[in-house]
Amino acid sequence: MLTAQPSSTGNSDLSAAAGFTAAIGGAGTNGRLSRTTQVPGFQTRVGKNRGLVRAVISGGDNKTVVETSKDYNGSVLSSSSRGGVRDVKAVITIRKKMKEKISDKIEDQWEGFINGIGQGILIQLISEEIDPVTNSGKCVESYVRGWLPKPSSHPHIIEYAANFKVPHDFGCPGAIYITNFHSKEFHLMEIVVHGFNEGPVFFPADTWIHSRKDNPQSRIIFKNQAYLPSQTPPGIKDLRHEDLRCIRGNGKGERKLHDRIYDFATYNDLGKPDKSEDLARPVLSGENWPYPRRCRTGRPPTKKDPNSESRIEKPHPVYVPRDEAFEEIKQNTFTAGRLKALLHNLLPLIASTLSSSDIPFNCFSDIDKLYNDGFVLKDDDQKEVNEKQFLGKLMERVLTAGQKLKYDIPDIIKRDRFAWLRDNEFSRQALVGVNPVNIELLREFPILSKLDPAVYGPPESAITKDLIEQELNGMSVKEAIENKRLFILDYHDMLLPFIEKMNSLPGRKAYASRTVFFYNRAGFLKPIAIELSLPPTPSSSMNKRIYTHGHDATTHWIWKLAKAHVCSNDAGVHQLVNHW
């Protein structure tokens, strides 16, 4: 029998029958032995127990391996015994920052070297199967060591490798512990483990891994498999609870930038009572102000109002969990967009430059010129811009260099100049555009309004059953509703009360709209009918018109114009209702 007992110093003593040779080494020792103990008839070699303790006992033709893994708090993670091992390889994909200072680049070179020699990132595979000794998931570990021979095609993405010796009875890995020994965080995209019978095992992450200096706890990454609580493999069930505890927090302490805790507090930080009584604000909670909660920050209370939390202006006045913070790409978009947003101050100048009429665009070609050619400000306009300094020195330099404003071409237009005219793009925007939250299943027919019929006319929609069934390829409306194939984007009741005010503005025309979509057998969402409505008038109690796909040039373009009105309504509801 072999026994391995970790001592208080982190080392292990070994006793075995004579005639056997035993070697114990920790994966964290990287081959360095901390002590050699001689026993009559056999030899024992012991390594520092920073993680995995591995004993190989051989005698004659027999060979047995016993592994015991401990975390960095000293508690046993798992141990296993087997008659052989397999080689397993993990590929770790990390994304670097796009913009870095010279000091950051030097530090990246150093961290790359540390990873290359196996000292920077520790990976621990956790099996879905229970270890009978520890009553937890079996565990093996390895340091990330070296870049992959084939570099990534993306300049900001780096792939590293970690090699494991895994017992044949290990089972399938269900989770990974990852520990970052670097001085700063890094963005982990994914980990793919190769070498198991089940094929590559994917661990999607897309998360920031904090430095162990900021938080000694390792991060847990689960494989790409969803489980109900009752069906969660026993080896990772405790890890699920542990991860939830970390995310929920305990309601104590001040939140740091690297935290990923989702606990909540009332809006009690809107004022600055310590600075001025006029700047004091109430706590938004209770019956009078039943506001939702914000992410808890844990900052100390103000001196004058203990119910209000103190505020900081820099560097980050509002705490959000680390993975919810705007990424670098988004921050770069804000930086570039800030300049364009300030162009709203120039709209009167732009309008007068493009056209002497009240309508700045006479045709679609005028819009194309904004992207392709830009437009030149007149000298008087240029002088006025510089004098008022709407855009500051940066914009002044931009305008002085050619005095031309030019907009970036949207990605969808780069791929297909006329994509915005097509029905499939119109449907795609309803699902994944700027406002994807209003489209819903059509659950009943006929479509009825909930507005007061005495004010807004008959509640029935002008979209009829016969009109819809012409587009259903032989399916009835009832069957399409039962099979959840009809959808509706309904802005009728929301906009109709405001249509008269909108249309009283010069050069404006708007309608309340309803759009019906059909999810066909080919797997495409297709707009099949649009209803545009105006409020009733003394001469007409029902000002509703229906538009469908055109089969000639005139109806073809009228259909596209109807879609444009729907898109206009969709953008307005997004900004004025859903966004605000």
Q: Mark residue 229 as left, alpha or beta (left: phi above 0; alpha: psi -120 to 50; beta: remaining).
A: alpha
Higher per-residue pLDDT: 32 or 115: 115
Structure confidence at residue 111 as a pLDDT band (50, 70, 90)? low
Residues contacting 140, CB < 8 A, separation 6+: 27, 52, 67, 69, 88, 124, 125, 164, 165, 166, 167, 170
- pLDDT higher than 60, residue 402: no
CA distance 199 to 390: 59
Higher per-residue pLDDT: 150 or 208: 208
pLDDT cut 70: percent of the chain above it: 67
* pLDDT in the model for residue 327: 72
275-286: average pLDDT: 88
Q: Give the largest CA-CA distance in the chain.
A: 112
Cα separations in angstroms, 103 against 83, 91, 106, 184, 480? 49, 28, 5, 13, 62
In 439-536, DSSP assigns E strands to 440-441, 486-490, 512-519, 525-534
C-beta of residue 184 within 8 angstroms of C-beta of residue 211 = yes
| Kind plus residue range of the DSSP H or E element containing 3 | strand 3-6
CA distance 12 to 9: 9
15-19: average pLDDT: 31
- pLDDT higher than 80, residue 320: yes
pLDDT digits (tens, 9 = 90+) for 171-216: 899 999 999 988 888 899 999 999 888 889 999 999 999 998 999 9
- pLDDT higher than 60, residue 538: yes
Across 152-166, 231-245, 445-459, least confident range: 152-166
Cα separations in angstroms, 57 against 43, 78, 79, 169, 421? 10, 19, 15, 18, 73
CA distance 429 to 574: 12
- pLDDT higher than 70, residue 78: no
Superfamily of domain 85-248: PLAT/LH2 domain (2.60.60.20)
* pLDDT in the model for residue 80: 42
The residue ranges of every structural domain in the chain are 3-70, 85-248, 330-409, 419-579
How far does the chain reach from its first CA to its final CA, in angstroms?
71
DSSP assignment, residue 432? H
The candidate with the shortest Cα–Cα distance to 463, out of 454, 471, 452, is 471
CA distance 153 to 561: 43
Structure confidence at residue 42 as a pLDDT band (50, 70, 90)? very low
pLDDT digits (tens, 9 = 90+) for 231-270: 999 999 999 999 999 999 888 888 888 899 998 988 888 8
Overall fold of domain 419-579: Nuclear Transport Factor 2; Chain: A, (3.10.450)
> What strands, in cross-sheet order, belong to the sheet with 121-131?
136-143, 121-131, 173-180, 219-222
For tokens 């007149």, name the residue. 378
pLDDT digits (tens, 9 = 90+) for 307-318: 888 887 776 678
Average pLDDT, the chain: 75
For residue 211, report the phi and psi dihedrals to the nearest 5 degrees: -75, 145
Structure confidence at residue 71 as a pLDDT band (50, 70, 90)? very low
Question: Nearest 5°: CA angle at 558, between 557 and 562?
Answer: 115
- pLDDT higher than 80, residue 22: no
Residues contacting 486, CB < 8 A, separation 6+: 441, 442, 468, 477, 480, 516, 517, 518, 519
